[in-house]
Structure 1
């Protein structure tokens, strides 16, 4: 029997939680993947291999699960890590970007000195749903003059349209796998 692909192996360790945080939502939970050291290593290696030869200047991670993946990836590539946080969490001077959610709006922030103009950045999160958070993060980086190599995530939920909206806005994307259904 052939070994499963890395994507299939990773997918098999993502738990689906029905009706969370509300009825009708199929929440894709990556915590089982993170708690298994072998699967976590396979996951990180997928991103390391993607960016090893075309090494960016830094990895920007979106609050909060993008911090987990992004900081380990930055360490493995021997480059810096930039946190993009929810509003009110960063202690220094920040710039803010608002975005729409399915149920309202939110904001993310970045320190004004987090990137220098022309720096090549990979923006990473665990999942792309509606694309709001990643789009806001990309706009923040661009406002500071960064060049975004691409947005990256473990999971794409294509039925929610986020990846399509991000690509239409000009953001190159890379995801390891897709889950059908909401």
Structure 2
């Protein structure tokens, strides 16, 4: 039977079970999950938070991670500045990055979501406003969401993956995981 785990990855945690190549120990999945034989389906950058799916099914892992399958991934993104409709429309159409144009996305401003505190907190600057957007993409290039918001002149301050396909973080606390089946 396939094992499928949903994990709410904290900021600063690597999306792998071991840390090779660093002189100082960094937090990894093994600090939170002690389930043999499961591996992350896709990646989430060390400085991003939120939903990470782990499974022992290689075919499912490939279907979740591969851009070929166009599985939608939804992010809650705190950006520097206040995006106007033109910036959101550019994200919806797709923006051109150094590695080519992105697929169209869904993008809208949202109220600040009731999230857990981030450690360390996002730097607050009184003179620079920030805003939240909900962004759904169907590909997964390296640091894509951060590069997309920067391309429309609203750099990402905080990035939380909320949903992958049919799976959502829901009420999972920071650093918590649950098995679904």
Task: Compare relative contact order (CA 8 Å, sep 6+) and give the higher one, 1 or 2.
Answer: 2
Instruction: Tell me the TM-score range normalised by the shorter chain.
Output: under 0.3
Higher helix share: 1
Could you state the TM-score of these two structures normalised by the residue count of structure 1? 0.26
Could you tell me the TM-score, scaled by structure 2's length? 0.26
